[in-house]
Amino acid sequence: MVGLGYGFRTVRLLNRSLIRLIAGFLVGLGLTVSIAACSPVGNSGSQVELTLVSFAVTRSAYESIMPLFAAKWKAEHQQEVVFNQSYGGSGAQARAVVDGLDADIVNLALALDVKRIEKAGLIQPGWDKDIPNGAIVTHSVVDLVTREGNPKNIQGWSDLAREDVRVVTANPKTSGGARWNFMALWGAVTQKGGADPQAQEFTAQVYQNAPLLPRDAREASDAFFQQEQGDVLLNYENEVILARKKGMDLPSVLPTDVNISIDNPIAVVDKNVDRHGNREVAEAFVQFLFTPEAQREFAKAGFRPVDPQIVQEFASQYPTVNKLFTVKELGGWNEVQAKFFDDGAVFDQIQASLRG
Amino acid sequence: MTLNTGTTIDRSNPNLKNATQSGENSRLKWVLIGFVVFYMSLIIFIPALNVFYQAFQGGIAGFLHTLTEREFLNAVRLTIVIAAIVVPVNTIFGLCAAWVIARNQFPGRALLLSIIDLPFSISPVVAGLMIVLLYGRQGWFGPLLQSLDMKIIFALPGMVLATAFVSLPFVAREVIPVLEEVGPEQEEAAKTLGAKDWQVFWRVTLPNVRWGLVYGIILTNARAMGEFGAVAVVSGNIVGKTQTLPLFVEEAYKQYQTQAAYTAATLLACLAIVTLIVKEVVERRSGLKRGTH
Amino acid sequence: MTSTTQSQPSRRERGKFSLPSMPWRVTILYLSVMLLLPIVALFAKASTLSPAKIWQIATDPVALSAYDVTFTTSLAASLVNGVAGVIIAWVIVRYEFPGKKILDAAIDLPFALPTAVAGLTLATVYSDNGWIGALLAPFGIKVAFTRLGVFVAMLFISLPFVVRTVQPVLQETEIDVEEAAWSLGASSSQTFWRVVLPPLLPAILTGIALGFARAVGEYGSIVIISSNIPFKDLIAPVLIFQRLEQYDYTGATVIGLVMLLVSLVMLLGINLLQAWGRRYDA
């Protein structure tokens, strides 16, 4: 009996202190929250906050576009626009928005990622109809970076399947963006009249030639450039241009016979702008991105512009591709994902066939 | 078992600090030092040297330019704030857990110990995911937090949680072996002499475990400041707001600003200097204490 | 599980021991909030799948080979560091030599350096044209982008553990015992095996356990130095990340849980071994 009573007392004591401890913990948590919340979120009057979540390499373009827009908005509305910016891998960024990152505008590497946010109920269906050019704000294509002087004489897609060529490309499984490379390889066959089995054989051959599958385009270019792996690097034209600007010396061959149009979509996150009360400025910013002055900045940063006037202006920098195909020609995003990248789909089959 | 008769007992000066009396021992010493230098060169020094080399490759101007960037300074500040919250909390927990495990025998002791180790073996990506599953928009507490208009993830609290998670085991794990090594006898003696619990803790336990504690805190701090994976998942990486130093490094790298990335990394590498200072201070303090006893 | 282990000893130690059960409560509460709750969430997420599907994801051939690479390489790395770490700790604590402080401070570098930077610099130094890789290349040894590279990265990130757990114990043990052994005529190796090593053993095992755990979980640096090719050097954390990239949260949790359970069992093994070792010690 004594033991029992003792036990009870322990439990009661434990409970009381437990409550105190939990209370303490919550107070601490509350404090940190309030510290975090201290940053001003005044979306009325003289200041308005806008959060852009984008894939990694768009930053240099936005750094120049944002001041332009802020000046314009200030002149028209006497309101200061304060930008919050977040850059990272497209898939990771989309997941963050789905999980509660307060993005007002998303600009991602592929529409599939925007569709995920739509599916989570944060973006209204039909977002791509309200924005110019089907919500595609920039383009790019796949570029083949070679070694100095092109010792392996790589001229186009078919050379990638040659047995003496080692190819470096990011892994479509870890990098959403790297799926463009895979689709470019596939389309290089099918868009020239080849059938699916041939396309699969060709892509399998290319991945057979890939000694490593880095996580993303950036790491692929370091593996190629810094660690001198492989003879040719599959990368996006915009990344190649950016890398060149930052001092990497990358000779490249752009396949202009047939290439994929890498379309980077933009969208306003409806749920968030309605909560923040900044829909007007968010939509104005998106519209602004399609103006010639914003498009020019994208073009400077390495992206193919979508504004015809700026396309003309940068014609020498961005050679025309004879047969440019889009995801639609491969059956649209849903089919592409199911056919190529899902568990047990083509990419898995290719990897399994390369085993051993 | 047999008495060693080959070398005679000429190690007659036991007061010497280093066991370097005989030629054999001196040789052993330098062989061991040589091995350590070789091994650490391969694993740590040369890779670290490469980081510095890359940071200064573009000249000192680029290096200094990065150090004065506003975003960089913000990242430094945030990193320090997070460490300043996480290190004390984890230290208190670590001391409690170490005492529980080292001073008590109970069923499931090894299990508790293994559970404390777990955060290391949980991949940072999964660690971040777990926090998202709890506090994310669609997580268990998501609706509650939203109705309270509280932000945990993609704000400081989430980053603190993630950092605390990955650095949770250090203090406990460093202190336990020392606590076990010194044994409970001194504490019990102090207790019977009428010392209060907290007196025992401050006067007996803490001085005994000071080295374990120091290493525990140093490691907690290093890991807290260097963590990338788990924090990346829950930070949202908003430039100038929720970007820690490792996230800054990652982003600079992704933007092909390689030198900026390596510059920020060298700063983190210089954390090792903190180690030196902390150890120096503790050494001096405890030296004084020993002197007065 | 925790409630049973908690109530009994807290009562026992109350009557007998110096500190109140405050440490118990802090430990249990903190562990519950920080560790158990998230793990429960992970289990809950995985359990939305049918058992058959869970089994299928967990035992996928790619996953199996990834577990194999992760666990065997981690174990090898932590054992190698077990030996090297003891020597490093010994040298730092017992010897005086120029540059010792630098050596000591550099031990923590693997933690402070962001993992991506660690991966980059290791990949650069150990690639065929790197500072160290170029020396090994003539012998046909490729480190970066092979399993050996994964091993080196694991050595790097788990090095501090053994050193830093052995060091404090070594600093606390008196040098007199060793000297007594010397003066009684024991040889170096005898002194080492009979006198020096036994009290260090728990700390060494702790260090190995922690290093192992850390190596198993490491992602950031390995993803860069590994070629990430399945059946060759793809590690499980990268596989988890791949599944997340496909928005396959549940698939990621399943593999995460397998990793968690296997590590728990292995850690439990090491910790029990240590407890068993101490029984003989006493």
Highest average pLDDT, of B226-235, C150-159, C174-183, comes from C150-159
pLDDT per residue over B62-105, tens digit each? 888 888 889 999 999 999 999 999 999 999 999 999 999 998 88
Q: Determine the residue type at C168.
A: P
Question: What mean pLDDT value characterizes chain B?
Answer: 85
The alpha-helical segments, DSSP class H, found in C173-248 are: 176-183, 188-190, 197-217, 222-225, 236-245
Q: Which residues on A lie below 8 Å from B150 (Cβ)?
A: 33
**Which chain A residues are within 8 Å of C120, Cβ to Cβ?**
222, 226
Phi, psi angles (nearest 5°) of residue A265: -85, 160
Q: pLDDT value at position A162?
A: 95
Q: Is the pLDDT of residue A330 over 70?
A: yes
In chain B, residues with a C-beta closer than 8 Å to the C-beta of A39 are 241
Q: How far apart are CA A235 and CA A254, in angstroms?
A: 10
Contact A211 C231 (CB under 8 A): no
- Cα–Cα distances (Å) from C282 to A189, B104, B188, C279, in that order, read 73, 15, 18, 5
Locate the chain B residue with the closest alpha carbon to A103: B236
Alpha carbon of C177: minimum distance to chain B alpha carbons (Å): 10
CA distance C218 to chain A (A): 15
**Burial state string for C65-76 with b = 16 or more CB within 10 A and e = fewer than 16:** bbbebbbebbbe
Candidates A229, A245, A228; CA nearest to A237 is A245
Q: What is the pLDDT of residue C8?
A: 41
Is B256–A32 a contact, with Cβ atoms under 8 angstroms apart?
no
* Pick from A7, A95, A351: CB nearest C230: A351
Cα–Cα nearest to A230, from A349, A119, A147? A147
Judged by average pLDDT, the poorest of A3-7, B243-247, C172-176 is: A3-7
Is residue B240's pLDDT more than 70?
A: yes
Question: Model confidence over A259-281: pLDDT tens digits?
Answer: 999 999 999 999 999 999 999 99
Look at C111 and C34; give whichever has higher pLDDT: C34
Angle ∠(B151,B157,B160) on CA atoms, nearest 5: 155
* CB contacts, 8 Å: C103 with chain B: 36-37, 40
| Mutation for testing the C interface, residue in A19, A95, A180, A215 having most C CBs under 10 Å | A215
The shortest C-alpha distance from C252 to chain B (Å) reads 8
Tell me whether B136 touches chain A (CB under 8 Å): yes
Q: List Cα–Cα distances, C277 to B129, B258, C206, C273, in angstroms.
A: 37, 49, 12, 6
How many residue contacts between B and C have a Cβ separation below 8 Å?
Answer: 350
Is A257 in contact with A322 (CB distance < 8 Å)? Answer: yes
Compute the distance between CA of residue A191 and CA of residue A255 in angstroms, rounded to an integer: 13
With 90 as the cut, is the pLDDT of residue A24 above it? no
Check whether A72 has a pLDDT greater than 60. Answer: yes
Torsion angle defined by CA atoms of residues B267, B272, B276 and B282, in that order, rounded to the nearest 10 degrees? 110
> In the numeric block, which tokens belong to residue A50?
């806008």
Residue B25 sits at the vertex; the CA angle it makes with B22 and B30, to the nearest 5 degrees, is 130
Residue in B42, B100, B130 nearest the CB of C42 = B130
Whether the CB of B88 is below 8 Å from some CB of chain C: the reply is no
Q: What is the mean pLDDT of residues A60-66?
A: 94
Lowest mean pLDDT among B140-149, B150-159, B196-205, C179-188: C179-188
- Residue B57: the pLDDT is 83
Q: Does B132 touch chain A (CB under 8 A)?
A: yes
DSSP for B110-173? HHHHHHHHHHHHS-HHHHHHHHHHHHSTTSTTHHHHHHTT---TTSHHHHHHHHHHHTTTHHHH
A162-221: per-residue pLDDT in tens?
A: 999 999 999 998 887 789 999 999 999 999 999 999 999 999 999 999 989 999 989 998
Helix (H, G, I), strand (E, B) or coil at A54: strand
Contact C214 B4 (CB under 8 A): no
| Contacting residues of B for C169, CB less than 8 Å apart | 177-178, 181, 212
What are the two backbone dihedrals, phi and then psi, of residue B84, each rounded to the nearest 5 degrees?
-65, -25
Lowest mean pLDDT among A34-48, C102-116, C212-226: A34-48
At C174 the three-state DSSP class reads coil
Cβ pair C38:B253 closer than 8 A? no
**pLDDT above 60: residue A13:** no
Q: pLDDT tens digits for B192-237?
A: 998 888 888 888 888 889 889 998 998 899 889 988 889 999 999 9
Residue C224 and residue C143 in contact, taking contact as beta carbons nearer than 8 Å: no
Distance, CA of A111 to CA of A261 (rounded, Å):
13
Burial A233-253 (b: 16+ CB within 10 A, else e): bbbbbbbbbbbbeeebebebb
Across the interface, which of B105, B107, B187 has its CB nearest the CB of C18? B187
B256 conformational bin, left if phi > 0, alpha if psi -120 to 50, beta if neither: left
Contacts of C271 in chain B (CB under 8 A): 110, 113-114, 117
More confident of the two residues B60 and C172: B60
Report yes or no: A17 at the B interface, CB cutoff 8 Å.
no
Q: pLDDT tens for residues C226-269?
A: 999 888 899 999 999 988 888 888 999 999 999 999 999 989 99
* Tokens read off for C165: 């757990």
Cβ distance of A57 and B254 shorter than 8 Å? yes
pLDDT given for residue C149 in this prediction: 95
Q: How confident is the model at residue C121 (pLDDT cuts 50, 70, 90)?
A: very high
Asked if the model's pLDDT at residue A28 lies above 80, the reply is no
> Does the CA dihedral C62-C64-C66-C68 come out positive or negative?
negative
Q: How many CA atoms lie within 13 A of C187 on its CB side?
A: 9
What's the mean pLDDT in B48-58? 89
d(CA A92, CA C244): 8
b/e for B1-15, b at 16 or more Cβ within 10 A? Answer: eeeeeeeeeebeeee
Q: Tell me which amino acid residue A243 is.
A: A
DSSP A98-158: HTT---SEEE-SSHHHHHHHHHTTSS-TTHHHHSGGGGEEEEE-EEEEE-TT-TT---SGG
Provide mean pLDDT across the span B42-47: 94
- Those residues whose C-beta lies under 8 Å from the C-beta of residue C212, and which sit 6 or more positions away, are B121, C74, C75, C77, C78, C158, C266, C267, C270
Tell me the residue length of chain B. 293
CB of B232 closer than 8 Å to CB of A215: no
Q: What is the mean pLDDT of residues B170-193?
A: 89
CA distance C52 to chain B (A): 22
Mean pLDDT of chain C: 85
Report, in this order, helix, strand and coil percent for chain B, each rounded to 5: 75, 0, 25
Question: Among A157-171, A185-199, B127-141, C169-183, whose mean pLDDT is lowest?
Answer: C169-183
Q: Which residue of B has its CA nearest to C149?
A: B43
Kindly state whether C29 is in contact with chain A, defined as any CB-CB distance less than 8 angstroms: yes
Q: Quick: pLDDT tens for A334-352.
A: 899 999 998 889 999 998 8
Cα B213 from Cα C164, distance rounded (Å): 11
**C134 CB within 8 Å of a chain A CB:** no
Phi-psi label, residue C55: left if phi above 0, alpha if psi -120 to 50, beta otherwise: alpha
- CB atoms inside a 10 Å sphere around CB A195: 10
Q: Report pLDDT for B7.
A: 37
Residue A23 binned pLDDT confidence (cut-offs 50, 70, 90): low
Length of chain A: 356
What pLDDT sits at residue B17?
A: 40
* Beta-strand pair A136-140/A262-268: antiparallel
Q: Which of B3, B262, B273 sits opposite C105 (nearest CB)?
A: B273
Q: Which residues in C lie closer than 8 A to residue A17 (C-beta atoms)? A: 22, 25
| A contact test, residue of B89, B237, B243 with most A CBs within 10 A | B237
Of A106-120, A182-196, B233-247, C178-192, minimum mean pLDDT range: C178-192
pLDDT, position C40: 94
Among the residue ranges A11-25, A302-316, B272-286, C62-76, the one predicted with the least confidence is A11-25
Residues of A in contact with B251 (CB under 8 A): 56, 59, 87-88
pLDDT in tens, B1-18: 333 433 333 333 444 444
Q: Which pair of structure tokens corresponds to residue B153?
A: 């993830």
What pLDDT, on the 0 to 100 scale, is given for residue A43?
Answer: 56
Cα Rg, chain C, nearest whole Å: 22
Q: Distance from first CA to last CA of chain B, Å, rounded?
A: 40
**How many contacts, defined by CB atoms under 8 Å, are there between A and C?**
94
CB contact A29 to B (< 8 Å): yes
In whole angstroms, give the CA distance from residue A259 to residue B230: 37
Beta carbons of A218 and B254 less than 8 Å apart: yes
Q: Which of A32, A86, A102 sits opposite B237 (nearest CB)?
A: A86
Q: A221: which 2 tokens?
A: 């270019």
- Write a three-state SS string for A232-293: EEEEEHHHHHHHHHCCCCCCEECCCCEEECEEEEEEECHHHHHHHCCHHHHHHHHHHHCCHH
Query: In the prediction, which pLDDT does C175 show?
Result: 73
Residue whose tokens read 């080492």: C192
Provide the residue type at C257 as one letter.
Answer: L
- Do residue B44 and residue C106 have CB atoms under 8 angstroms apart? yes
Residues of A in contact with B136 (CB under 8 A): 99-100
Chains sharing 3 or more CB pairs under 8 A with chain B: A, C
Mean pLDDT of A33-43: 47
Cα separations (Å) of C15 from A7, A290, B8, B129, C20? 12, 76, 54, 43, 9
Q: Is the pLDDT of residue B290 over 80?
A: no
Given this model, what pLDDT does residue C17 score? 46
- Say if the Cβ atoms of C247 and A222 lie within 8 Å: no
pLDDT confidence of A25, banded at 50, 70, 90? Answer: low
pTM, two decimals, is 0.86
Structure tokens given for A106? 């998303």
Which of B27-36, B210-219, C3-12 comes out lowest in average pLDDT? C3-12
Contact flag A32-B251 (C-beta cutoff 8 Å): no
Q: Lowest mean pLDDT: which of A16-30, A63-77, A308-322?
A: A16-30
Question: Which of A175, A227, A352 is facing C123, going by the closest CB pair?
Answer: A227
Q: Minimal CA–CA distance to B223: which of C114, C260, C165? A: C114
**Cβ–Cβ below 8 Å for C145 and A14:** no
Q: Across residues B132-150, what is the average pLDDT?
A: 90
Residue with tokens 């899902």: A342
Surface of A (81-100) touching B: CB under 8 A: 84-88, 92, 96, 98-100
Half-sphere exposure of C9 (CA within 13 A, CB side): 23
Interval C86-115 mean pLDDT: 89
State the CB neighbour count (10 A cutoff) for residue A8: 10
Q: Residue B19: its pLDDT value, please?
A: 43
Task: Please tell me the predicted confidence (pLDDT) of residue A352.
Answer: 85
Contact C256 B228 (CB under 8 A): no
Q: Supply the pLDDT for residue B5.
A: 37
Rg for chain A, CA atoms, rounded: 25
